Amino acid sequence: MGRYVNGMEFYPLSSSRPRFRFVPIRRATRGFTLIELMVVLILVAILLGVSGPSFQNSLQRNRQQSAFNDVVTAMAFARAEAVVRNDIVAICPTVDTTSCSGANWETGWLIFVDNGGPAAGGTPSDGLWNGDEELLRIGSGHPNVTIRTINFPSLTSVAFTDSGRVFQNIPGTVTVCDGRGAGDARGLIVGVSGQGRLAVDTDANGVAEDNAGNSLECP
């Protein structure tokens, strides 16, 4: 018969000299009770309720910033190409990447040399890609935001001349919005020189202003 030491049973093995081997006593494991599980579920629900809106807001902000960065890059690229090529370069929204269409820039855009094409079969500086003009870049869409242009000569295109200035020397603003509304809208003001700057809230009403000094609006 074995003996116990500190809760462990020891007993001799059959041999001329007594030996002992260590045998741990198994203890039954206890699972969670129903009350404990309910408490855990309640705590998880509270945490989700607190962090959920913050996470959603962060997600929207990141998507908007990504779209805004793409707009800034597209405008800078078009302006630089106009100077390098000594020609007019335009950007227009597109829904199918095969033609300029609509005024909703979040569906994507085309950047092209707006000179009518090598055969001069198209109309130069019309803000429309005719398929014969050189296509420089295709911008991907941003379905979680809205992107609109205001105050430019056209709502469906933005063009830069060979000097890098905006077409017809008329500045404008590109507005990027999401579901949070105008208070969180981002605006890119494109000046007469063709250079862009971030729209800011100068009158402290909680909404940034466009190039004309009017508060940004979201569709």
Partners of 148 in the β-ladder = 175
Q: What is the mean pLDDT of residues 124-135?
A: 93
Give pLDDT tens digits for 39-59: 888 887 777 666 556 778 889
Q: 209: which DSSP letter?
A: B
User: What are the CA-CA distances from residue 80 to residues 5, 100, 140, 202, 211 (Å)?
Assistant: 85, 21, 20, 30, 21
Q: 166: which DSSP letter?
A: B
> For residue 161, what are the contacts with CB-CB under 8 A and spacing of at least 6?
82, 88, 167
Q: Binning pLDDT at 50, 70 and 90, where does residue 23 land? A: low
3-class secondary structure, 147:
strand
CB of 88 closer than 8 Å to CB of 114: yes
Identify the pLDDT of residue 3. Answer: 56
Closest by CA to 163, choosing from 125, 196, 191, 193, is 193
Burial of 190 (0-12, 13-18, 19+ CB in 10 A): buried
Give pLDDT tens digits for 188-207: 999 999 999 999 999 999 99
Q: Binning pLDDT at 50, 70 and 90, where does residue 15 land? A: very low
> For residue 50, what are the contacts with CB-CB under 8 A and spacing of at least 6?
none
CB of 96 closer than 8 Å to CB of 119: no
Identify the pLDDT of residue 177. Answer: 98
Burial of 61 (0-12, 13-18, 19+ CB in 10 A): middle
Instruction: Give the least confident one: 21-25, 32-36, 178-182, 210-214.
Output: 21-25
